[in-house]
């Protein structure tokens, strides 16, 4: 797809680069400006690692109508604490990857499901089967009759996310009972956090497949 974007309709970008040991890292950055030959972006971080330039990187651009991807050249990196500035060669074409960042990754994290039933509030503890920025599938020991709306508490290593969710359906696949839920009015910081987890997990799986 022809790359025809500007700074006004870009929500953020993600840069996947390699360090000196050839390990892949991903950093989320904000656009400062885009011109005909360059994309200038900045990221605020307390963790500084040496990023060599020039190098070929994978660039993801999240905008209102979806996620675009392309390989491009990281031309230079400048450090201006607490920011890192990235100068990237503007790619001529971008691949329309998907409608927003709703790719699903298999991941197991503890989760509580709270829901109202006739005799009061019920609380069920379980683990996630897979996750996306749009919703989650949760493993169950037995089928449960959920109401249309529940409250989920997702327990990550360094964060707890509580979000209301719409119950979609329950499926049995590979002898595993999985209940599907769609997030409702998720807060933007929580959405960004889950998107980052999914993106990192996707990179890990891709790296494993290359070994």
Total count of domains within the chain: 2
Share of residues in the chain with pLDDT > 70 (%):
86
Q: Is residue 170 included in any domain, yes or no?
A: yes
CATH number of the domain to which 55 belongs: 2.30.110.10
Q: What is the pTM of this model?
A: 0.56
Highest mean pLDDT among 9-23, 109-123, 183-197: 109-123
Q: What is the pLDDT of residue 154?
A: 96
- Asked whether residue 90 falls in the same domain as residue 19, the answer is yes
Q: What per-residue confidence (pLDDT) applies to 50?
A: 75
Note whether 171 and 187 are same-domain residues: yes
The last residue of one of the domains, among 98, 119, 152, is: 98
Residues 69, 118 within the same domain: no
- Which pLDDT score, from 0 to 100, does residue 1 have? 46
Same structural domain, 144 and 169: yes
List the domain range (segments joined by +) for residue 112. Answer: 105-205
Last residue within a domain, chosen from 30, 64, 98: 98
User: How far is residue 39's CA from residue 26's CA, in Å, rounded to a whole number?
Assistant: 17
């Amino acid at each position: 797809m022809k790359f025809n974007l500007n700074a006004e309709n870009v929500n953020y970008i993600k840069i996947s680069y390699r360090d000196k040991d050839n390990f892949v890292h991903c950093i989320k950055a904000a656009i400062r400006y885009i011109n005909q030959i360059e994309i200038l972006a900045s990221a605020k971080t307390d963790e500084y690692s040496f990023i060599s330039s020039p190098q070929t990187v994978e660039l993801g651009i999240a905008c209102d109508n979806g996620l675009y991807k392309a390989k491009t050249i990281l031309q230079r990196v400048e450090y201006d604490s607490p920011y890192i500035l990235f100068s990237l060669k503007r790619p001529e074409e971008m691949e329309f990857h998907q409608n927003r960042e709703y790719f699903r990754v298999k991941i197991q994290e503890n989760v509580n499901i709270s829901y109202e039933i006739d005799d009061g509030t019920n609380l069920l503890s379980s683990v996630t089967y897979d996750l996306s920025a749009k919703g989650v599938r949760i493993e169950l020991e037995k089928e449960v009759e959920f109401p249309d709306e529940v409250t989920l508490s997702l327990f990550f290593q360094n964060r707890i996310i509580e979000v209301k969710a719409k119950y979609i359906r329950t499926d049995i696949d590979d002898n595993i009972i999985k209940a599907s839920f769609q997030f409702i009015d998720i807060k933007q910081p929580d959405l960004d956090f889950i998107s980052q987890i999914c993106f990192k997990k996707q990179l890990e799986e891709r790296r494993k497949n290359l070994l």
